[in-house]
Amino acid sequence: MVRVNTHEVSGAIKPTTHSSNNSNNSSNSSSSNSSSSSTMENLTPTQNIEYSTLQREYAAFARSIDVVADRVRIVTFEDVEVEAQFSAAGWMVMALSSSTGRNAEQDNGAVQVDDVFETSEALLMRLSPRFTQLWNEKLFEKLSALQ
């Protein structure tokens, strides 16, 4: 699996890759870069923007956010893993699981596979109380700075 992080460069989003394994030999490095390129090439321009924005804005709000093929895999601080895909309809839940061994749909009764959310924030707020707390704290911080 390749983890794709983004860095803002002159207003443009430039993806960078980090292999999920910790091996640093050059053959893994080159395969990691080509894998990331093909991952990013498989995305529509809108998916590329949405996924990059999600990673840039909310990386600290979840355990991990990874682009895998044409989906995003998010692991919340509550150890719920969701695979979601962005389309014209919104953010669709493609897979949902919990590392606690419990049924993730029972743990998160409000979220089920095939549910569609208008925004990534709406999806994450339904999945993760910690995401909601961090998002609200960040919003309060930004609003306070306006005064």
pTM: predicted TM-score of the whole model, two decimal places:
0.67
Average pLDDT, the chain: 75
- Say what the pLDDT of residue 66 is: 94
Per-residue pLDDT reduced to its tens digit, 42-74: 888 999 999 999 999 999 999 999 998 899 999
**Which pLDDT value is given to residue 43?**
87
DSSP string, 121-135: HHHHHHH-HHHHHHH
- Asked if pLDDT for residue 80 goes beyond 90, the answer is yes
| Residue 28 near residue 19 (C-beta atoms within 8 A) | yes
Residue 104 has pLDDT above 80, yes or no: no
For the four alpha carbons of 35, 40, 41 and 43, in that order, the dihedral sign comes to positive
What residues does each domain of the chain span?
2-146
Residue 5 has pLDDT above 50, yes or no: no
pLDDT tens, position by position, 114-138: 999 999 999 999 999 999 999 999 9
- Position 21 scores a pLDDT of 38
Most confident of 34-43, 96-105, 124-133: 124-133
Check whether 13 has a pLDDT greater than 90: no
More confident residue, 31 or 52: 52
| Whether 93 contacts 84, CB under 8 Å | yes
Q: What is the C-alpha separation between 137 and 140, in angstroms, rounded?
A: 5
Residue 9 has pLDDT above 80, yes or no: no
CATH code, 2-146: 3.30.2280.10
Q: How high is the pLDDT of residue 98? A: 81
